[in-house]
Amino acid sequence: MEYVSPEGLRLDGRRPMEMRQIRAEIGAVSKADGSAIFEMGNTKVIAAVYGPREVQNRNQQISSHALVRCEYSMANFSTGDRMRKPKGDRRSTEISLVIRQTMEACILTHLLPRSQIDIYVQVLQADGGTRSACINAATLALADAGIPMRDLVTSCSAGYLNSTPLLDLNYVEDSAGGPDVTLGILPKLDKVTLLQMDSKLPIDILENVMQLAIEGCKAIANYIREVLLENTKQLEYRRGV
Amino acid sequence: MLIFVISAIDFHMPPICSPIVRPGRPAEASPMVSKQLSNTISSSRMTDLKELSLVSGKAAWMAYLDIYCLDADGALFDAALLSAIAALSHLQIPSIAMNDDGKIVLVSDEDGQKRAQEPVNKEKRKLTLRSIPFSLTCILHKNYILADPTAEEESIMETHVTVVLDTSGQLISLYKPGGPVLAYTSAIQDCAALTRQRVKELNNFLDKANSAMEV
């Protein structure tokens, strides 16, 4: 199947280095300490953060730093066919772990000893790049909750199909079986906190694909900063500052 | 013989929706609301289940209704019922045909070619919804009736009354699960009057939403 046309256009009309339209909204869940909706094209994710709060299971309490927990689940209606087991399967468990480890790298857990931070991520619509969208939503939710962080974590995927590096893969491109690199970075510190890759890829091409993903991450970071700044201005306005 | 299936209704409360809901154990409100929804939708007879039948005695659609609560802030049943009705009013039943083996196949008109099989149901159609039910949850507190309570109000006061009326004004169901305040007939009638008012508002709201969806 031809994923990039001779004119250099992808199946959804994007250019190889073009991202899908992104949209973010803060404060979607009133009961949560922090929450956000993040959309990348047709992929739609909602994240909520509860905490820092008292550790539920005393055996898990850590005296030196906070305990970070994460749960990723997909709504039954998030994919084309109704899902039977939206959570508890291997994939959900693996993504939960990936998100937790990625977020732990940026949260200043030592400032919140003997406490627990719960990150819940729910996929409402899935069209490729769900784990990237989840990490971006979780970052926004943590910022909204006022959890101290070293830097924002932003994530984006890139792939290599028809001898062309592609940025921000959708479901059709993702399931083509080609290499898929998911990258998470701390943009200000310029450090990589997540790197996952499926399939084989020559090292020299990996550099190009990774560079493309980094550019995507930085573009998302700029957008997230704008959203947070706008949200802060609105809060100031409401409080009459 | 006709075959048709009552839709499987699931009300999900993921831990995202409330600090009280924790992973691992399902929220106690979840199965309760699911059952209530199922009872309300079937007893209101808002849908003619024969419309889900494809071939008499052979095939029928199975309609799954999944409702996700993203933010639990009181009156869960009211919100769930409204979203269920909105989803059912938006539902489109696709055109299908039966091939020689007796298997059901989707019919696509996009290629513009002549159909190989004659469709069983002529066109993509919507379910016919008649006498749509709407609900209102109230809290009884001393001499007061608090309509559409928040989660905080629900947690403080224990006596709830949920009244379900349809668009023709008929009482579909009345639900009062215990509570320390005894509900007098007058209080129930006041709740029903408030619900009647609410039904008009919600019906207009639903009509606007549906007309906005139509191209």
Which stretches in chain A have pLDDT values below 70?
Answer: 1, 58, 84-88, 241
Inspect the interface and report whether the beta carbons of B12 and A76 lie closer than 8 Å.
yes
Give B31 to chain A, closest Cα distance, Å: 16
Find the distance separating the first CA and the last CA of chain B, reported in whole Å.
38
Whether A120 has its CB under 8 Å from any CB of chain B: the answer is yes
Give B27 to chain A, closest Cα distance, Å: 15
Give me the pLDDT at residue B111, please: 46
Q: By three-state DSSP, how is residue A131 classified?
A: helix
pLDDT-based confidence at residue B56 (cuts at 50, 70, 90): confident
Instruction: Say what percent of chain B tops pLDDT 70.
Output: 78
Task: Report residue A220 as tokens.
Answer: 């998302």
Q: pLDDT digits over B108-130, tens only?
A: 555 444 445 555 554 455 677 76
- Tell me, which fold does domain A22-239 have in CATH? Ribosomal Protein S5; domain 2 (3.30.230)
Task: Report residue B23 as tokens.
Answer: 């992973």
According to DSSP H, which parts of chain A are helical?
90-104, 130-145, 171-174, 203-239
Give me the pLDDT at residue B2, please: 41
Among residues A92, A192, A106, the alpha carbon closest in space to that of A142 is found at A106
The full set of domains in chain B, from first to last, is 8-126 (3.30.230.70), 133-213 (no CATH)
> At residue B171, does pLDDT exceed 90?
no
According to DSSP H, which parts of A151-202 are helical?
171-174
Whether B19 has its CB under 8 Å from any CB of chain A: the answer is yes
Give me the pLDDT at residue B61, please: 76
Give A231 to chain B, closest Cα distance, Å: 20
Whether A37 has its CB under 8 Å from any CB of chain B: the answer is no
Q: pLDDT digits over B117-166, tens only?
A: 555 554 455 677 768 899 999 988 777 888 989 898 888 876 878 899 88
- Mean pLDDT, to the nearest integer, of B160-176? 85
pLDDT-based confidence at residue B58 (cuts at 50, 70, 90): low
Using a CB-CB cut-off of 8 Å, the residues of chain B touching A53 are 19
Give me the pLDDT at residue A39, please: 92
Whether B24 has its CB under 8 Å from any CB of chain A: the answer is no
Q: pLDDT digits over B68-101, tens only?
A: 999 998 899 999 999 998 988 878 777 777 666 6
